Amino acid sequence: MRHLMSGPMKAPMVMDSLQHLPEIIGKADLNKIHAELLKCLPSLPSIPDLDKVKNELMTSLRSFNFSSLSGWNVMEHLTRCLHDKFSIKGLNDEKMDFLSPSLVQPITRLPFYAFLAGAMFCLLASSTCHLLACHSQRLSYILLRIDYAGIAVLIATSFYPPVYYSFMCNPFFCYLYLGFITLMGVATIVFSLLPFFQKSEFRKYRASLFFLMGFSGVAPVMHKLILYRHEPEALQTTGYEVLMGVLYGLGAAIYVARIPERWMPGKFDIAGNSHQLFHVFVVAGAYTHYLDGLIYLRWRDLRGC
């Protein structure tokens, strides 16, 4: 829980890409880098053994404290030498395939922050509802609707990081999936605000609505696996997403089945009832999705499109 609430402070920024600089250097073509620098600095001496230099550089970088570079502007130092080659207009695969794309054009964190905001709104709405719903019938009526709206917001925003970072290089599918889940989220929130939705006979329909909303994520996940089936990150993120779905699904199933209080009525009125277990699974699922989002960010920082 602590990690989830502190998520915005932990989300990797552009400078965090430097932490992976040894990995970038390991994949880099130093001959290309040296050739580009020679165009900029003709007096640069020739390097007889670039492979040896690469190994020594990687060793040094692994032991370097990058936190001391928090005020260093990467773009400013690069553009002093290479000018157009590091401007956004001058980018192309031929010139830039030896550097991490995020060092030149930062990968946006907005989808990741949207998910964190949605998760915190859901948990805050739920906590407020459980704390103050006993105040009066009118306040309980309002807070229950906000609680259901929070669940819809969490499910909708959970789609944003995987969909955006999976299809950021395919804008059509990116906007298609994001638009679809956003419309579903808005529709679910509106439906949740209707008075009849709170009746006990609609308990199964409430859970089913949220379950179907989450199940719609199967389509973009399968599409991602088809596009990036050879990428280890695609398989790794899919594993987290399956685990997240299992956790959310178990929570919804326990909530609908009213386990374990249906077996021993009155024994779980204070602790251990289905609603409390449901919230435990929701927090576990949200934290799993947070770890999933970090993998997406690192993947796109290192690989770009």
Closest residue by Cα to residue 107 from 11, 216, 9: 11
130 known ligand binder: yes
Contact 112, 297 (CB under 8 A): yes
What tokens were used for 189? 């929130």
Q: Which two tokens stand for residue 51?
A: 């492979």
Distance CA 242, CA 248 (A): 10
The answer to whether residues 120 and 150 touch, using CB atoms and an 8 Å cutoff, is: no
**Sequence-separated contacts (24+) of 174-181 with Cβ below 8 Å:** 177/219, 177/220, 180/216, 181/156, 181/213, 181/216, 181/217
Q: One-letter amino acid identity for 14?
A: V
Instruction: Name every residue whose Cβ is closer than 8 Å to that of residue 29 and which is 6 or more positions away in sequence.
Output: 97, 98
Whether 228 and 166 have beta carbons less than 8 Å apart is answered as: yes
Spatial contact of 274 and 259, defined as CB atoms under 8 Å apart: yes
Q: Tokens at residue 2, please?
A: 């602590």
Q: Quote the CA–CA distance of 100 and 226 in Å, as a whole number.
A: 24
Known binder of ligand: residue 279?
yes
The pairs formed by 103-108 with CB atoms below 8 angstroms and a separation of 24 or more are 103/14, 103/17, 103/18, 103/74, 103/78, 104/75, 104/78, 105/304, 106/14, 107/14, 107/165, 107/168, 107/297, 107/300, 107/301, 107/304
In contact, 2 and 35? CB cutoff 8 Å? no
- Known binding site: residues? 130, 275, 279
Q: Which residues participate in the annotated binding site for Zn(2+)?
A: 130, 275, 279
